Amino acid sequence: MVLGCAAAAIAALSARAVADSFTPVRVSIAVSSVARLHVALPLTVTVSADPGALDDRTAPLRVRVKLAQECGGTYQYTPGTILLDKRLSPQPVTGHAYSGSVLGSGRPGRYGVQTVCLWLEEEGDNRVFYSDQSVQVNVSKACTRTASRYDAARARRRRPGRRRGRGSKRVLAADRRAARRACGPGVPL
């Protein structure tokens, strides 16, 4: 009898360990780790789910993302820049696996390292099926300053009637290299 209870307890513990590592809903966020102040920060959110994982919803699902100093418990009460607030399209079909992506962008309004706060919510009652606060973005002063200098040099070069000498081409190339160093890959220049 004692041996049977011990075996049942071990089975329960191992089942709990397996359940803890099982993730029926998975979300990935593709966003640059560095951003410019007041310039669009594009992102892509990919959602996948096992069959039945999203079946108990009663309304359409939305992906909602904000860039914030700190994530609150819900989208509604998290102050920050809205990067994405869209319905999943297509919506999940009952009993089937799901995979889809949504695109969005927003313009960061303050400098500093901020968190990408994501929720997969049901419309209406805002029931959360998934949330994530593991991705951070640095809205960088150096990136904003050097990329703005490059934007201004490029705009001057495009003006009609402007002479395009070798010196201006070199300056433009140097400004672009400086912006790429400060911003890194993925930041629109």
pLDDT of residue 163: 58
Query: Do the Cβ atoms of 52 and 75 come closer than 8 Å?
Result: no
- Reported as a single tens digit per residue, the pLDDT across 22-47 is 789 999 999 999 999 999 999 999 99
Q: What is the mean pLDDT of the chain?
A: 85
Neighbouring-strand partners of residue 34? 138
Distances in whole angstroms, Cα of residue 155 to Cα of each of 30, 148, 150, 152, 176 = 29, 10, 9, 5, 13
Neighbours of 30 (CB within 10 A): 13
Average pLDDT of span 77-94: 95
Tens digit of each residue's pLDDT (9 = 90 or more) over 48-66: 999 999 999 999 999 999 9
HSE-CB for 95 with a 13 A CA cutoff: 0
The 10s digit of each residue's pLDDT in 101-113 is 999 999 999 999 9
Q: Long-range contacts of range 67-71, CB-CB < 8 Å, 24 or more positions apart?
A: 67/41, 67/106, 67/108, 67/114, 67/115, 67/116, 67/117, 67/137, 67/139, 68/114, 68/115, 68/117, 69/110, 69/112, 69/114, 69/115, 70/115, 71/115, 71/117, 71/131, 71/133
Position 165 confidence tier, pLDDT thresholds 50, 70, 90: low
**Residue 167: predicted pLDDT:** 54
Q: What is the pTM for the complete model shown?
A: 0.80
pLDDT at 185: 84
What gap in Å lies between CA 9 and CA 29, rounded to an integer?
39
Structural contact between residues 24 and 54, judged by C-beta atoms closer than 8 angstroms: no
